[in-house]
């Protein structure tokens, strides 16, 4: 069975700080990897995804993630966060089955 681990459950940063949210997964086969974001009062929406090719993936709103196969990791990064980035962030993997397996999420708070 596949699983996803997100290392930080709560992160508090000041505006303009750099962000890195960790995500590790366990699955031995080919995977598709996703980061979803849930802004306050809104539904889950896709930030970025990795299927194949360049392991450095760029998404919306200046976010990027790097797939490191040897480390089973897909960490999310942003060089300079904004107050509007306050949200819940979920890493997810699609392995042998079509349903996604999500991590527990990271609650990010950006202080102005």
Partner 1 sequence: GAGVSQTPSNKVTEKGKYVELRCDPISGHTALYWYRQSLGQGPEFLIYFQGTGAADDSGLPNDRFFAVRPEGSVSTLKIQRTERGDSAVYLCASSMGGPDTQYFGPGTRLTVL
Tell the smallest beta-carbon distance from residue 23 to partner 1 (Å). Answer: 11
Name the token pair of 8.
């930080």
The verdict on 101 binding partner 1 (CB under 8 A) reads: yes
Q: What residues have CB less than 8 Å from 83, skipping those under 6 apart?
A: 15, 110, 111, 112
The verdict on 65 binding partner 1 (CB under 8 A) reads: no
The verdict on 93 binding partner 1 (CB under 8 A) reads: no
The verdict on 98 binding partner 1 (CB under 8 A) reads: yes
Of 4 and 110, the one with the shorter C-beta distance to partner 1 is 4
Helix, strand, coil share (%) of the chain residues, nearest 5: 10, 55, 40
88, 105 Cβ separation under 8 angstroms: yes
Number of chain residues interacting with partner 1 (CB under 8 A): 23
Stretch that binds partner 1, among 37-45, 53-61, 62-70, 76-84 (CB under 8 A): 37-45
């Amino acid at each position: 069975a596949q699983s996803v681990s997100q290392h930080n459950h709560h992160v508090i940063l000041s505006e303009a700080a750099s962000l890195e949210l960790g995500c590790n997964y366990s699955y031995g086969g080919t995977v598709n990897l996703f980061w979803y974001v849930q802004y306050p009062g809104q539904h889950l929406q896709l930030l970025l995804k990795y299927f194949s090719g360049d392991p450095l993936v760029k998404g919306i709103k200046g976010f990027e993630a790097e797939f490191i196969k040897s480390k089973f990791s897909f960490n999310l990064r942003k060089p300079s966060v904004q107050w509007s980035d306050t949200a819940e962030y979920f890493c997810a993997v699609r392995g042998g089955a079509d349903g996604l397996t999500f991590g527990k999420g990271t609650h990010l708070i950006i202080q102005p």
